[in-house]
Amino acid sequence: MDLALTIEPMTHADLQAVTAIERESFRDPWSLHSFQTEIETNRLALYLVGRIKDEVVAYIGAWIVLKEIHITTLAVSKSWRRRGIASQMVGALVEMTGPRGAACLTLEVRPSNTAARQFYEKLGFAVMGRRRHYYADEDALIMTKNNLTAPEEAGKGEGHEQ
């Protein structure tokens, strides 16, 4: 679907909308202050929002460390899911870090978060390991996508595997 999604760096003015999506998306949501610290003081961080008209509908955050893009958060407003927005957010993230020459994407995901796992699998991520007790109530799976040869490939699906 051709949505008029504008993707740009997250600013302080976006934080209320971002934390509203955060609260409806995660059982252990980050505070507004956590996002603020990331965008204002973490020089390794890149946080983006996706907007349709003036509404913030999605966001993604990452730490860029050497050749690795570590996705710290990604969420789409409930009413805007399954329209390719998260895929576009990942693609934009890779594109914007392109000059820094990132070679792989990695993240932690709850084993119980089947929607997110299926989403990342569709983008070509694979489970590479497990971090014990990463969350208060659950381990985390480490998912990675290597060989980011062409930035524009990151946001494209690679076919259903299930």
Ligand X SMILES: CC(C)(COP(=O)(O)OP(=O)(O)OC[C@H]1O[C@@H](n2cnc3c(N)ncnc32)[C@H](O)[C@@H]1OP(=O)(O)O)[C@@H](O)C(=O)NCCC(=O)NCCS
- Contact positions toward ligand X, by CB under 6 A? 25, 74-76, 81-87, 107, 109, 113, 115-116, 118-119, 122
Q: How far apart are CA 10 and CA 35, in angstroms?
A: 9
Comparison of 32 and 52: residue with beta carbon closer to ligand X: 52
Cβ-based nearer residue to ligand X, 15 or 121: 121
Q: Which is nearer to ligand X, 115 or 126 (CB)?
A: 115
Residue 138: CB minimum distance to ligand X, A? 12
Q: Which of 113, 55, 107 is nearest to 80 (CA)?
A: 55
CB of 161 to ligand X, least distance (A): 9
Helices marked H in the chain: 15-25, 32-41, 85-97, 114-122
Q: State the residue for tokens 């407003």.
A: 77
What distance in Å separates the CA atoms of residue 20 and residue 24, rounded to the nearest whole number? 7
CB of 84 to ligand X, least distance (A): 5
* Closer residue to ligand X (CB): 61 or 64: 61
Mapped onto helix, strand or coil, the DSSP state of residue 21 is: helix
**Tokens 């693609």 belong to residue:** 91
Q: Three-state SS for 49? A: strand
CB of 110 to ligand X, least distance (A): 7
